[in-house]
Amino acid sequence: MDFTFFDYVWRGLTVGVLSSAIVLAVLFVTSLFIDKKATRQQMKYFFHTQVTLSLVVFILSFAWVVCVDPELASGCFSLFAKDKSFFTVTRFLAALWVAGFVGFAVLDLFRIWKSTDADLQDTQDKELLSRFQGLVFKFEIKSGVVLKISKNSSSPYAEGLFSHKVVLPSEILKMSSENITHIIAHELVHVRDKDSIWKVLELLGRRVLFFNPFLYFLAKKHLLAIEMAADEQAVVTTQVKAKDYIKTLIEVVSLHRVTGHNPLALNASRTFKETKERMEALVLNQELKPKKNLVNFMIFGSVLISLGFSVAQARSTVQESVQRNFETGMMCSQVHHEQMIESWLRIPVEKNKCEE
- Which element (helix H / strand E) includes 217? helix 213-238
Average pLDDT score over residue span 59-67: 78
CA quadruple 39, 45, 51, 57: dihedral, nearest 10: -130
Residue 114 DSSP label? H
Q: What's the pLDDT tens digit per position in 316-347?
A: 665 555 555 554 444 566 666 666 676 666 65
- pLDDT bucket at 24, cuts 50 / 70 / 90: confident
Strand ranges (E), 79-223: 145-150, 157-159, 164-169
**What pLDDT is attached to residue 259?**
54
End-to-end CA distance of the chain: 23
Euclidean distance between CA atoms 133 and 140, whole angstroms: 11
Tell me the mean pLDDT in the region 280-299. 69
Which of 4, 3, 51, 6 is closest to 25 using CA atoms?
A: 51
Classify strands 164-169 and 145-150 as parallel, antiparallel or unpaired. parallel
Q: Could you tell me the residue ranges of all domains in the chain?
A: 4-115+293-344, 126-288
For residue 178, what are the CA distances in angstroms to 123, 182, 186, 353? Answer: 18, 6, 13, 74
Q: Which CATH number fits domain 126-288: 3.40.50.300, 3.30.2010.10, 3.40.50.720, 3.30.300.30?
A: 3.30.2010.10
105 Cβ neighbours under 8 A, 6+ residues apart: 207
pLDDT tens for 169-220 read 888 888 888 999 999 999 999 999 999 889 898 889 889 888 888 888 888 8
Q: Which residue has the higher pLDDT, 113 or 232?
A: 232
Task: Give the per-residue pLDDT at 355.
Answer: 40
Quickly state the pLDDT bin for 135 (edges 50, 70, 90). Answer: very high
- Mean pLDDT to the nearest integer, 309-313: 65
Q: What are the pLDDT digits (tens) for 86-101?
A: 567 788 888 999 999 9
pLDDT at 14: 80
**pLDDT band at residue 250 using 50, 70 and 90 as cut-offs:** confident
Question: Cα(59)–Cα(210) distance, rounded to whole angstroms?
Answer: 14
Give the list of residues 6+ apart from residue 195 with CB closer than 8 angstroms, or none.
158, 189, 226, 230, 266
Q: What's the rounded Cα separation, in Å, for the pair 144 and 149?
A: 17
